[in-house]
Structure 1
């Protein structure tokens, strides 16, 4: 599964994309803790989730991009062989 992040310039917009495309629960809000809980325990994630055109988000939200990179690393360990990749 591939998500194109073109035009995603805020944390809220990124989390809304994840909520809509991955089928997160209605209560889901723009929080990295809620994201983690959702991807490891609530929704069935695809074997590989590829995020493309993420550079604009990284430029607009450098701290959140740093957190996302850490989540990606932790997810690879916790949920192997499933993974999230930046392409």
Structure 2
């Protein structure tokens, strides 16, 4: 986790090896250090991503950039789930202008 040149706090959401929704939710919870009560469902994901009070402390007042890497195998294995995940990322960013979620397009991961 680092700060981007624009001042936003950057978190890498590494999906390498993720093959299902449960794995995605576990990785998000780990990357963002979400509380134990995080519901691990689509609504809880949208709410958590859009809620700056749940972001890492260093993101306070700066905004949060989430870079999703290693997502292609998951997208290929579970295309409907992946579409839903992308919709959730977009909805959360719409609800919280200080949030940006971007997909790392590099390499084959």
**Is TM > 0.5 for Structure 1 vs Structure 2?**
yes
Structure with the larger RCO, 1 or 2 (CA within 8 Å, 6+ apart): 1
Number of aligned residue pairs: give it: 87
Q: Distance in 2 between matches of 1:13 and 1:29?
A: 13
Matches of 1:73 and 1:4, distance apart in 2: 18
Matched residue, 1:60: 77
Aligned partner of residue 49 in structure 1, secondary structure? strand
- Aligned match of 1:71: 88
Gaps of 5+ in 1: none
| Cα distance between partner residues in 1 of 2:95 and 2:38 | 21
Say what the alpha-carbon RMSD is for the aligned residues: 1.7
The aligned counterpart of 1:44 is: 55
Residue equivalent to 2:32: 22
Q: Tell me if structure 1 keeps the 8 A contact 2:46–2:91.
A: no
1:32 — aligned with what?
Answer: 42
* TM-aligned CA deviation for residue 28 of structure 1: 1.9
In the alignment, structure 2 segments of 5+ residues that lack a partner are 1-10, 105-109
What's the offset of the Cα at 1:7? Answer: 0.5
Higher Cα Rg, which structure? 2
